[in-house]
Amino acid sequence: MPAQVNHIQLNVNAANLTFYREFLLGFLGWTVVSEMDRYFGATRPGGGASLWFVGYANDATNDYNGRGMNHLAFGVQAQAEVDEAVIYLRGRGIEPLFETPLHDAMPPPRQDQTYYRVMFESPDRILLEFAYSGPRS
């Protein structure tokens, strides 16, 4: 049976919903699918899988090295867009993790290719990544 990702729900602190709205709708230019008092769903222009942020999280802590999702990666079209994400996030007091941004040590498919990425934690300690794969600039 052919299947694709339809949506991903992330439970977050309701106080952080503003961060996710500004990040997805403002910075990434996504559009709202649905919205109520303590949640919203958004998708990129043209549709596709949606992300849902639900502000009903309990006090359990997230350990992205434990079982479950490790991180959520956003693919971008240019190496410079990874750097734009760094500027955006630093402007909100969020610093990159793991000595990123960097050209990953994993060998790319061809010599002139790269995998350039930055990783950071959201206010709810959700590990997020911006990644570019393609010609090195």
* Fold equal for 1-56 and 70-137: yes
Q: Is 105 a residue whose pLDDT tops 80?
A: no
Q: What is the pLDDT of residues 55-95, one digit of tens each?
A: 998 888 888 888 778 999 999 999 999 999 999 999 999 99
- Assigned CATH for 70-137: 3.10.180.10
Q: What's the mean per-residue pLDDT of the chain?
A: 91
Q: Which CATH class is domain 1-56?
A: alpha beta
Do 77 and 133 contact (CB within 8 A), yes or no?
A: no
Instruction: Give the Cβ contact number of residue 97 at 10 Å.
Output: 14
Contacts of 14 (CB under 8 A, 6+ apart): 38, 55, 56, 57
Q: Where are the chain's structural domains?
A: 1-56, 70-137
- Phi, psi torsion values for 104, nearest 5 degrees: -65, 145
The DSSP symbol for 108 reads: P
Q: What is the pLDDT of residue 4?
A: 84
pTM of structure: 0.87
Predicted confidence (pLDDT) at residue 108 exceeds the cutoff of 70: no
Residue 109: the pLDDT is 66
